[in-house]
Amino acid sequence: MTMPRASMVYPWMVVALLMLAYVLSFVDRQILTLLVKPIRADLAISDTQMSLLMGLSFAIFYTVCGIPLARWADRGSRQKLVIAGVLFWSAATAACGLANRYWQLFLARVGVGVGEAALSPAAYSLITDYFPREQRATALSVYGMGIYLGSGLAYLVGGAVIQFAAVTGPLSLPLIGDIRPWQVVFLILGGTGILFSGVLLLIREPPRSGSHAALPFAEVWLALTARRRVILCHNLGFGFIALASYAAASWIPSYFGRVHGWGMAQLGYTYGLIVLVFGTLGIVSAGRIADLMIRRGVEDATMRVGVWAALLAIPASALYLFTGDATLAAWLIAPATFLIAMPFGIAPAGVQEIVPPAMRAQASAVYLFIVNLIGLGLGPTAVALFTDYVFKDDAAVGQSLLVVTVIALCLGAALLAAGCRPYREALAQQRA
């Protein structure tokens, strides 16, 4: 049962609180991308090792833990799961600030991934139960704004840290001792998340749509395999778009530093504002477009919007990497960011429509498993491998980024286009 339309103030407050949690998660997740230079220098590591901190260390446990945590979300309190996740990943973020060795930072990043795995499956399920179908793409896109608000803030914070470090150098803190400025950032972010978790007590559990009992795992598996064609086209298609997105988010700062000579502080402020403004506009616009198309009878709207966003993002992404002028390149990142952001609210909205209500969180976890394993697990590392082992030149990071982005977006668009008809069929089956 969904909430009556007259009572939509509280559901939107829930979306806002969950979106703020998502903002915190992406600040914690993405802050590393602007701290590549100081961390590499302090820990004496390569681009490939750094990419494992940005991607694989986080993604493996984020994806693996997502499915059992989603079963909790389908059976127990989603509010308690979200709060526990925020507390866990915030403590792990603070632990990143205490790391003095590569392996210590790697393990702390694993902890961040484990904690963050609790958030989105539970959030998707909560939001879906609070909103009618014709508003879900918009509501889930507003929640998805956290990706770009958080990433933008991560770049802004990273730029401020680099500027601060240039002036102050190492710091000495009570009980901790000497500490580098990049470590202070993690300690502050971890403490902020721990404090914020208390605010999430304001979230109430809505009535669950359909059956209140979660399906046994065997039934979940049967339901997914019965829809395997659409699930694979949907999840892999959006996964390759996520690969392009994470590749860009991880290496654009280094590209501007190595190729255009920008300082990381300057890049942090510029790129941070672009991501914050245009990423947010892109994800919300896609949600509104998809909801409008659904009201007009376009049943596979979430898939179609994803196809067009990926296709248009290909030339948009190539343009900023081809220009030799840094200022023009920065301006050209804006439309690329807008387009590549569009799919990440409509994608989870599409998942909710084609599975039984009692397995929505678990279907979302499978979606997140595939999307993050491909996007976050491979995106940053794919660029680093091309830079380190194909071009063998740190200054070739732009060429690496171009190759990875174009291939990923082409694959994403093709898979989503192939999945439109199976999506319509799965939707009809679910309504029968």
pLDDT in tens, 229-281: 999 999 999 999 999 998 998 888 889 888 888 877 777 788 889 999 999 99
**Confidence at residue 226, expressed as pLDDT on a 0 to 100 scale:** 82
So what's the pLDDT on residue 165? 63
Q: How much is the pLDDT for 214? A: 57
How does DSSP assign 212-267, residue by residue? SSPPPHHHHHHHHHHTHHHHHHHHHHHHHHHHHHHHHHHHHHHHHHHHS---HHHH
CATH class of the domain defined by 5-205+214-431: mainly alpha
Show me where the domains of the chain are located: 5-205+214-431
Helix (H, G, I), strand (E, B) or coil at 432: coil
Judge whether 78 and 209 are in contact, CB under 8 Å.
Answer: no
- In contact, 113 and 62? CB cutoff 8 Å: yes
Please tell me the predicted confidence (pLDDT) of residue 432. 67
Q: Determine the pLDDT at residue 73.
A: 79
Task: Report how far Cα 132 is from the mean position of its chain's Cα atoms.
Answer: 24
What's the confidence (pLDDT) of residue 2? 45
Residue type, 224: L
Nearest 5°: the CA angle 367, 371, 374 is: 145
Rounded to whole angstroms, how far apart are CA atoms 427 and 416?
Answer: 15
Output the six-digit token pair for 103.
């392996």
What is the spatial distance between Cα 183 and Cα 140, in angstroms, rounded to a whole number?
33
- What is the reported pLDDT for 430? 79
The CA-atom distances, in angstroms, between 327 and each of 49, 330, 335 are 30, 5, 14
343-398 residue pLDDT tens = 988 998 888 888 887 787 778 878 888 888 898 788 888 998 999 899 989 889 99
Question: pTM of the prediction?
Answer: 0.78
Within the chain, which residues score under 70 in pLDDT? Answer: 1-6, 161-162, 165-166, 169, 209-217, 432
Location of structure tokens 């898979």: 415
Strand, helix or coil for residue 177: strand
- 228-259 and 133-168 helices, crossing angle to 10°: 30
3-state secondary structure (DSSP) of residue 268: helix
Q: How far apart are CA 95 and CA 86, in angstroms?
A: 14
Find the distance separating the first CA and the last CA of the chain, reported in whole Å: 18
pLDDT for 1 equals 43
